[in-house]
Structure 1
Amino acid sequence: MPTGGRRHGGGPVRRRPHGDDGAVTVVLAAVVAVALVLAAVLGAVASAHTGRLRAQTVADLAALAAAEEVRRGGDACATARQVAARNGARVVACSTEGSGVVRVDAVVRTGAGDAVATAWAGPRPRGAR
């Protein structure tokens, strides 16, 4: 059994100064806080990106359906609105631009705000490759 303030190895017992108590806890708490903030920011960015992709997909689908409706002689923009609504989005602008081409602007609500996308669909112009 060691006596006189010595350890088993024979060297003196070192004691930390009392001013350092809890320093590791503070540093660890700061690291955890930074990690949580970073995770929240990355989550918001991922949500915005996913929303943008969803908005583009819905706009493409709605424009294709609307162009087909123009070909059939129906109401293209009503079809675009219906397709967008079925896919969790809404059409904010729709127009037929001549020669059966339809433009659709769709918006999808995300946790990071609204994501908007535009798509055109219709027959290829004559002479285009």
Structure 2
Amino acid sequence: MREKLNAISEAVIGAAIAVHRELGPGLLETAYEACLEFELIDRGFAVERQRVLPVQYRGVTVDCGFRLDLCVNELVIVELKAVEKLERIHEAQVNTYLRLTGLHLGLLMNFNVTKMVDGIKRIVREFPESSH
């Protein structure tokens, strides 16, 4: 599983770099989201955009309007931003999404940077060990 998650992560980062090279900084988050979805699908990945994320509260499922920007191959959450700089609250958001979904790997990506690699943060929650 670890290898699979790492491979998806690397591919998503590569796709994000391609999108950023084409578009550059300064657009709205939704533009990057749509283009990254297109790029990932074009590369053969299953992508769910704006996936509803219900919250379990005291045994009741509550639809609070939370949505994952992208979920790749049902394994990796991708949260996109187009902000001056990433803040701790953005990392907390991805950590919460990972906890609520039970997934292990999230990518927080800020497209409002000169070089895309400077806007990427990998967030791991209880990374699974490789299976036998």
- TM-score bin (small chain): 0.3 to 0.5
Report the structure number with the largest CA radius of gyration: 1
Whichever structure has more helix as a proportion of its residues is 1
TM-score by length of 1: 0.32
Question: Does 1 or 2 have the higher relative contact order (CA < 8 Å, sep 6+)?
Answer: 2
Whichever structure has more strand as a proportion of its residues is 2
